[in-house]
């Protein structure tokens, strides 16, 4: 499936994505990284501030680690491989921003070593995002 960048939304109001990502996102949900699992089970699965997050959500040509549709918010957990992909990640974030999605990034080490700080920061940013919309 080829995406038309001019129409990122389907006729039913959903974000379009490459169909090839469907199985990959399912596989990713079944095998989360340690940091992803910790953040999910400690915080995001509990619907912080009443907002539902989805894991490994395909949107456009990307798979978002955690996505809240009501807030148009993407929470990414970055491992060491992202240190070499800064330009890619910046481009990805800009494409998502162009369709209204804001990206927050946390490193594995932050989540594994300072989970409470990450949760506090996320709570603040979730509330700020709610107030922006």
Domains of the chain, earliest start first: 21-132 (3.40.960.10)
Q: Is the pTM of this model over 0.95?
A: no
What's the order of all strands across the beta sheet hosting 102-107?
54-59, 62-68, 73-78, 102-107
What is the model's pLDDT at position 14?
54
Token digits of residue 69:
């549709």
* pLDDT for the residue 24: 83
Which ranges of the chain does DSSP label H, i.e. alpha helix? 21-30, 34-42, 86-98, 108-113, 115-132
Cα separation, 31 vs 14, whole angstroms: 25
pLDDT tens, N- to C-terminus, the chain (133 residues): 334 444 455 444 456 556 677 888 888 889 999 999 999 999 999 998 899 999 999 988 899 999 999 999 999 999 876 556 778 899 999 999 998 999 999 999 999 999 999 999 999 999 999 999 8
Provide φ and ψ at 67, rounded to 5°. -135, 130
């Amino acid at each position: 499936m080829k995406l038309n960048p001019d129409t990122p939304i389907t006729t039913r109001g959903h974000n379009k994505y490459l169909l090839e990502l469907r199985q990959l996102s399912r596989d990713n949900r079944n095998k989360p990284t340690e940091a992803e699992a910790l953040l999910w089970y400690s915080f995001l699965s509990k619907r912080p501030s009443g907002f539902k997050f989805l894991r490994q959500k395909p949107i456009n040509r990307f798979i978002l680690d955690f996505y809240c549709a009501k807030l148009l918010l993407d929470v990414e957990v970055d491992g060491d491989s992202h240190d070499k992909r800064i330009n890619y990640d910046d481009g990805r974030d800009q494409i998502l921003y162009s369709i209204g999605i804001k990206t927050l990034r946390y490193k594995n080490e932050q989540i594994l070593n300072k989970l409470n700080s990450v949760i506090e920061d996320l709570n603040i940013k979730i509330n700020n995002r709610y107030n922006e919309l």
